[in-house]
Structure 1
Amino acid sequence: MVQTALPALLVGLAAVAAARNCQNLTIPITISARNARFTLQAPANNIEVTDFTLNLAQPGVNYTAEVLSSNGINGTDGQFADVSGHYTIGATYCTPSSGPGKALQILTHGIAFDRWYWDFSAEYSYVDAALARGYAVFFYDRLGLGDSSRGDPVNEVQAPLEVQALRALTAMLRDASAPGIDDTYEKFVHVGHSFGSVLSYALTAAYPELSDGVALTGFSQALGDFVAYFLYGANFVEASSAAPALAAYPPGYLATADAPGVQTNFFAPGNFDPAVLEAAYAAGQPVTVGELMTIGTVAAGSNSFGGPVLVITGERDIPFCGGNCSTSEPSIPAQTRPYFTNTSSFEAIVVPGAGHGLNLVNTLYLPSWEKAAKL
C-alpha cells in the first residue's frame, strides 16, 4: 500500500544540516568466492553490447544459463570456479561532529553510481541526513569502479565476489581493524540501494551475525520480473564510448549512453530537478557483464536474518516494480516479507511519486533508521 503520510524522520534534506568529520580511505582486502564461469566473451563494440542486452533480456530464455561453461576444471563443476584475489576498496568514513556515537551504517550503492550516490551534493546527501541523526557512516566503491580495484568484467567482478567484499569490509569494521578506523560501535546497520540492496540481502542471508539491522532501498523480490525493463531502458554501450571519464575501462564494462536512459531507470515524471539528472548522467559509472548476469542469483532464496528489516522503494521504481509498486495488495516491496523467515520486525514503505533513484528525488526521504536498528 502506498503510504499516505511519511513516517517520522522521512524529511527533506534541506531541513537538516550536519557537521561532519570525514576521511577517504583505501582498504586492502583478500577475498574469494564461488563465481559463475561463463564462456561468453566480453562485448567488443556497441553492436555486441546491444546484442548482449537483447539476449539477456529476452523473455522465456535463461541466457545466463545458456553461457555457463560445461567443462570441468581438475574434476570440478565446470559451471562454477573459485575466484580469489587481493583488492583495494576506495571508501569514505564520516562521523558527526559530536563523535562516533553507537551505531555505524554501512552503505552499498547500486548500478550506474559509485559511492558518491550517498553524498551526491550539498542538497542531495544521504550522508548528511544520517549524520544529523547521530549515525556514523561508511560508504565505499564496489569492486570494478571508482577508486576500487578493477577486474575481469565477465568471470571475476560478479555478485558473489562482491558479497564477499562486503563481508570482509563488515568484519573489519566490526572488530575495528579497518585501516584508519579504530572507533567501536554497538550496532551495525547495512543500508543498500538497488544492487547494493541485493548485496546487503545476500550478506545478511549468508552471514546474519554480521548485521544488527538492514535497510533495503530501491528493492523488492520481483527483480526477475522487471529486470528486462531496466536493461532496455539503460541503452547500454561500452563504458569507454559513453563518456571521456570512462575511457580507461576495457570491453565488458558497460554504461548508459545518454541522459534519457538514466531518467528512464532512476527518475519519475515531475519529481526531479533536470540539473540533477544531467549531473547523475555526467557522474555515471559502469556495470560489468558479470554483474548483470549474476545480480539475480545471490538474493534469490529465503533469509533467516533475525534483526529488523526495512524495505523502502519509490512508487515508480522501474527495475524492482516495473514502474508501479502499487499494482497489488500488499505492495510489491511488501511482498518481500515472506522471504525474511526470522526477522524481529519488518516494514515496507512505498514512497509516493518517487523513482528508483531515491536519493535524487526532489525531496530526499530518510527512512526511520532508529526504528530499523532498534536504537
Structure 2
Amino acid sequence: MDRRSFLRNSALGGSAAAASALAAPAYAQGSAKTLTMVTTWPRGLAGVWDSVERFSDNVAGITGGSLIIDAKGAGELVGALESFDAVASGQADIYHGADYYWVNQSPAWAFFTAVPFGMTAPELMTWYYGQGGMAKHHELGEIFGIRPFLAGQTGAQGGGWFRKEINSPEDFQGLKFRMPGLGGKAMGELGASVQNLPGGEIYQALASGALDGTEWIGPWSDERLGLQEVCKYYYPAGFHEPGAGLSVGCNLDVFSGLSPEHQKAIEIAAAEAHQHNYALFIANNGPAMKRLVAGGTKVQEFSPEIWDAFGAASVSVLQSFMDDEIFADVFESAMNGMTESSDWMQKSDSLYTLQRNRVLAAM
C-alpha cells in the first residue's frame, strides 16, 4: 500500500478533513522559501515555545535566511492536537510538538517523546543519535508522509500536581487527571479518569474543577503556567516521562522537494535545538523549585507501594501493544539501546556523582 492510500484508509483521514479548510501553504516570493509551522503549544509557553523559536532561528541562521520557518501557536491555524494531521495531509509544512500526542495513529510514536519507565534524557539522546533511533523515527514517519527529527528535550518530568496527597494506589481511583501518551494509559489502569488536554487548556480545567490534578513538565514551566495557584501538592519525580523529547515533523513531500542544503539545515537546526532546550530546562528548574517551595507548595514523594503500582500498570500497557509489529520493533531497539547505555552510565557517571557529592559534602 502506498503512503497516500494508507493515509486515506487510516484514522488520519477523518481528522485531516478538519484541516482541509486551510489553504495550501504558500511559499514566499523571491529567493527565500517559507515553511508554515503549526505547533501543539500556545505562543510563548515557557520552555516548549523556546524550542520552537530556537529551531526557527537556527534554520534561518544556517541558511542565511534562504529558508524561513513561520511558526504558528496552537489555535492560530489549527488546534494543538490537529498539528500532525495538518502536516500529514499537506495543509501545513511542518509541526513542532510532542510525538506521543500521536499514539492513536501509532503507539510507536510514544518512544520519541517518552514511555513509562523508559529512557532518561541522556539515554534517549544516545539511542537517537548513536544507536539507530533516528532511523526508526524516520521509518515510522515514512508511513504517514512525515520526516521527523528530535528538536527539544524537557528532561525528567514531574509526577504531577494534586489537590490532595496521594498516599496509596487507591487514591487514583476516579481521579480526573491530565496525562498524555502511554503514561496516561497506565494511569487509566490504576482507575484514573485520564484526559489528554493540550498545555494551553490545563490551568482552566484545574480552576474549574474539570481536573483534580495534572502533570505538565517541570517546576519552571509549571510555575509559569500557574499550576501552584490551583494545586497544593507537587510530586517532582514521575514514572511517565523520565526524559521527554520534542520533535519537528516535516511533510515528506515538502521535505523531499527542498535542496540538500535546506534538508541538512533542518536536521542540524533540530539537533541543536534539542540540546539547547535540555540545558534551558535543567538550568531553570532548580531556581523555580525553590520559589515554589517558598511560596507554599508542598513537595511530596510517591511511596514504594505507589511506584510498584506504576510499574505493574506500565508493564501491562507496554505489553498490550506487542502485537503491533512497528511498536514491537521500535520497543526492542529502544530497550536494547537503553540497557547498553544505562549499564555504562551506572558504572561511570552514577558512581562518580555519588562519590563527588560525598566528597564535596565533607568540605
TM above 0.5, one fold?
no
TM-score with structure 2 length normalisation? 0.30
More strand by share: 1
Would you tell me which structure has more helix in proportion to its own residues?
2
- Give the number of the structure whose alpha-carbon radius of gyration is greater: 2
Q: What is the TM-score of this pair, normalised by structure 1? A: 0.29
